[in-house]
Amino acid sequence: MNNKTDKLQLQYNELLNSQKFTEADLDYNILEQHIPYLKKIDELSNSAIMIFDFYKRQHVFISNNISQILNIDLEKAKGETSYMDSRIHPDDYPQLMEAGFYFLCYGFSLPPEYRKDSKLVNEYRILNGNGKYIRIIEQHMCLESDMHGNVWLAMGIMDISPDQNDDAPFRSRLIDIKKGAVYMFPPPNKEAMLTAREKEILQLISKGLISKQIADKLFISVNTVNTHRQRILEKLQADNAIEAIKCASKIGLI
């Protein structure tokens, strides 16, 4: 791994550590109830289905079709993610991690009842059992949260991409099914996610100041503060200030 990948892995682990699970409160009968339906889908389609457990931090179910899509050993693909991660194209892996971190931060900031309204779609290259990189499309969505609101089980669906151009770029987007919105990664304003003034205003919001107080403190109008607030929500894809503060804090913007 290079320094960038190491840093991304550290940030990703810190984000996962922000969820505090209680093992006794996790009912794995819920997982067992899902598996027969997932196996049936596996039989009726060409898609591979995976369940990732955020508490165990490993795949707790991978369908047989993974062998058909990638021609790899099913048993090696189960459990720890290191085997599958090692097969991702080295140019795509850092981008996949960065996009995963970005959108996972967004997902963690959502109230549990809204998390199933979105799905993450990634398109990247992975090494198959014949030693050739192929492009696949992978969709991820929240399957179950625990009783404390932590994202617990996530379902992934993998298919071969119809675009097998070796030079096609890595792609990642989040689709909000209810809003009908699509958020691309990297976002157009990623390099300057928040301006210095926006960061300053968000920090003051996080301290409990209202727009009038912020305006007085910064010697600007309330209207200007509210304009900044709206741009902050748009850039962080947040519905309210609390979500924006959580997301900005997790990705190191404030």
pLDDT digits (tens, 9 = 90+) for 90-133: 999 999 998 888 888 878 877 788 889 989 999 999 999 999 99
Percent of the chain past pLDDT 70, that is, above it, reads 94
The last residue of a domain, from among 140, 160, 185: 185
Same domain, 139 and 196: no
Domain extent for 53: 3-185
- For 76, other C-beta atoms within 10 Å of its C-beta total 14
Q: Are 39 and 9 in contact (CB under 8 A)?
A: no
Instruction: Say if residue 130 is in the same domain as residue 198.
Output: no
Q: What is the CATH number of the domain that holds 197?
A: 1.10.10.10
Q: What's the pLDDT score for residue 141?
A: 95
Encoded tokens for 60: 């707790």
Q: What is the mean pLDDT of the chain?
A: 88
Q: In terms of C-beta density within 10 A (0-12 exposed, 13-18 middle, 19 or more buried), how is residue 202 classed?
A: buried
pLDDT at 243: 83
Per-residue pLDDT tens over the stretch 170-228: 999 999 888 788 888 776 554 446 777 888 999 999 999 999 999 999 999 999 999 88
Above 70 in pLDDT, residue 2? no
Q: Check whether residue 121 and residue 228 sit in a common domain.
A: no
Higher pLDDT, 145 or 245: 145
Confidence at residue 29, expressed as pLDDT on a 0 to 100 scale: 97
Q: Which secondary-structure segment (H or E) carries 86? A: helix 82-86
Are residue 22 and residue 65 in the same domain, yes or no?
Answer: yes
**Domain identity same for 69 and 180:** yes
Q: How many domains are contained in the chain?
A: 2
Q: 229 and 176: one domain?
A: no
Domain boundary, last residue among 155, 185, 215: 185
Residue pLDDT, tens place only, 21-58: 999 999 999 999 999 999 999 999 999 999 999 999 99
Count of residues in the chain: 254
**Residues 6 or more apart in contact with residue 228 via CB below 8 angstroms:** 197, 198, 201
Whether 125 and 44 map to the same domain: the answer is yes
> Is 203 exposed, middle or buried, given 0-12, 13-18 or 19+ CB atoms closer than 10 A?
middle
Give the separation between CA 244 and CA 235, rounded to whole angstroms.
9
- Does 194 lie in the same domain as 89? no
Model confidence, pTM: 0.74
Between CA 63 and CA 74 the distance in angstroms is: 8
